[in-house]
């Protein structure tokens, strides 16, 4: 096999597999059939392209080959005549390998199918990464520290649920779109957060999950460009991810205050800031736009001392109107404290019911440390350490606890 042919196959899979699988699922009505047909089409390409040359439109070649596989599969399985006729009709329209890719972009349909409320959240995440992300079952299981058989069963149950419940492969009606879109955004951000601050394990950051979430967020923005919250979500992830390389040094966690800002990814920051500015000019205003605005304030500060904590506190107040959770209140209290009102921030924290949340105790400990109250800070650090599950974060808390003794 020539290197060029192999690289061409890999490039088509990397760049177009999401679109191809979406189209095949729409036509076949089956996740399993579509995945099998696409896999066989790529295998055929690895055999054919080195001999006959790389086609002018490689993506169209894969789609046409996969359609033929679906026809064969339909005949073998003796499925309903209506479905077979439909497959044959659609295949005839694009059967020429050199034909331009003229099929509709079905990825938006697939996004909403994977995020249907009838599916539990874990299944939504796994199915999204498996289909639109192109990740293997092994890769997804490894990313979420889950046994592969468990993840495989989750995928099987999700596909069965879609089939048995006859979940439609459609974009929701306008009246349902915004509510369902919120779920889509939440799942993408969940994937990003698991990559950005792993809940458990030996590593703080999982770069593959961050990259995949950003790719999905970019896709969502491209497919629904008039939704400002899509821009806000993408901006938020880019601005957070711009600091990724500075969050850990020699295996040790580095706080935002101590990070080397010259090493932040300036291209991601520039793109993120442009998106924030554009998103904030649109209405309605939403939580991702506000969170992106908070991240932008951090990104624009040349040093930690220049951070406009008063503005951040005001933005958290606005965010609380959308999400009146105790975690948002905790972030607001921390911003108030960092703006110079340490006691006021601590008082706000002490009114929160977050005793089982390790970041609550870590935030209190940090404020108490800054107030030169080491005994109370040590107690708070110990509580945080007892609740933390990520090894990098545990080691950071241990170092802070030790520093209080000096």
At residue 69, the pLDDT reads 85
In this structure, is residue 282 part of a structural domain? no
Q: What angle do CA 110, 89, 93 make, to 5 degrees?
A: 80
In this structure, is residue 395 part of a structural domain? no
pLDDT for 135-186, tens place per residue? 778 877 766 667 888 888 888 898 888 888 888 877 777 777 777 788 888 8
pLDDT for 103-131, tens place per residue? 446 777 887 888 788 888 788 888 887 88
Mean pLDDT, range 6-26, rounded to an integer = 83
Q: Is the pLDDT of residue 90 over 60?
A: no
pLDDT for 263-321, tens place per residue? 999 999 999 999 999 999 988 899 999 999 999 999 999 999 999 999 999 999 999 99
At residue 186, the pLDDT reads 84
In this structure, is residue 54 part of a structural domain? yes
| pLDDT classification of 379: cutoffs 50, 70, 90 | very high
At residue 108, the pLDDT reads 75
Q: How many independent structural domains does the chain possess?
A: 1
In this structure, is residue 50 part of a structural domain? yes
At residue 110, the pLDDT reads 82
Q: For residue 232, give both structure tokens.
A: 């806000």
Residues 6+ apart with CB under 8 A from 321: none
Strands, E assignment, 98-247: none
In this structure, is residue 41 part of a structural domain? yes
In this structure, is residue 165 part of a structural domain? no
Could you give the C-alpha distances from 184 to 121, 131, 224, in angstroms and in order?
Answer: 10, 15, 12
Structure-model confidence comparison of residues 390 and 158, the more confident one: 158
Q: For residue 130, give both structure tokens.
A: 């498996």
At residue 8, the pLDDT reads 85
Supply the DSSP string of 293-358, one letter for each residue: HHHHHHHH-SSGGG--HHHHHHHHHHHHHH---HHHHHHHHHHHHHTT-HHHHHHHHHTS--TT-H
In this structure, is residue 291 part of a structural domain? no
Radius of gyration of the chain (CA): 25
Domain that residue 7 falls in: 3-103
In this structure, is residue 61 part of a structural domain? yes
Contact in structure between 328 and 349 (CB atoms under 8 Å): no
Mean pLDDT, range 2-16, rounded to an integer = 79
Across the chain, mean pLDDT equals 83
* Range from 46-60, 115-129, 362-376, 388-402 that averages highest in pLDDT: 362-376
């Amino acid at each position: 096999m020539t290197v060029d042919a192999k690289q061409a196959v890999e490039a088509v899979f990397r760049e177009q597999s999401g679109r191809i699988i979406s189209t095949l699922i729409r036509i076949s009505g089956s996740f399993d059939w579509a995945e099998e047909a696409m896999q066989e089409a790529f295998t055929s390409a690895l055999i054919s392209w080195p001999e006959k040359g790389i086609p002018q439109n490689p993506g169209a070649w894969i789609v046409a080959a996969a359609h033929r596989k679906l026809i064969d599969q339909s005949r073998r399985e003796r499925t309903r005549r209506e479905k077979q006729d439909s497959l044959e009709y659609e295949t005839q329209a694009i059967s020429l390998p050199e034909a331009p890719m003229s099929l509709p972009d079905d990825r938006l349909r697939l996004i909403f199918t994977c995020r249907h409320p009838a599916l539990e959240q874990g299944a939504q995440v796994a199915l999204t990464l498996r289909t639109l992300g192109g990740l293997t079952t092994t890769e997804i299981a490894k990313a979420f520290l889950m046994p592969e058989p468990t993840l495989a069963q989750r995928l099987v149950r999700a596909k069965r649920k879609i089939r048995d419940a006859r979940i439609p492969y459609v974009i929701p009606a306008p009246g349902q779109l915004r509510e369902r879109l919120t779920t889509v955004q939440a799942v993408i951000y969940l994937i990003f957060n698991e990559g950005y601050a792993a809940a458990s394990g030996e590593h703080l950051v999982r770069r593959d999950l961050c990259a995949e979430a950003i790719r999905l967020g970019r896709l969502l923005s491209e497919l629904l460009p008039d939704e400002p919250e899509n821009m806000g979500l993408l901006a938020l992830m880019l601005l957070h991810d711009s600091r990724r390389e500075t969050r850990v040094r020699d295996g040790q966690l580095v706080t935002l205050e101590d990070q080397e800002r010259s090493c932040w990814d300036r291209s991601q920051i520039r793109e993120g800031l442009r998106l924030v500015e554009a998103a904030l000019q649109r209405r309605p205003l939403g939580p991702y736009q506000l969170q992106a605005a908070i991240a932008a304030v951090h990104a624009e500060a040349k040093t930690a001392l220049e951070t406009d904590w008063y503005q951040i506190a005001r933005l958290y107040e606005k965010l609380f109107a959308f999400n009146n959770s105790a975690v948002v209140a905790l972030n607001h209290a921390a911003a108030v404290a960092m703006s110079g009102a340490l006691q006021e921030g601590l008082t706000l924290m002490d009114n929160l019911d977050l005793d089982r949340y390790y970041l609550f105790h870590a935030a209190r400990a940090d404020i108490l440390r800054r107030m030169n109250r080491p005994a109370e800070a040590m107690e708070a650090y110990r509580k945080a350490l007892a609740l933390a599950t990520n090894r990098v974060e545990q080691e950071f808390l241990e170092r802070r606890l030790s520093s209080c003794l000096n």
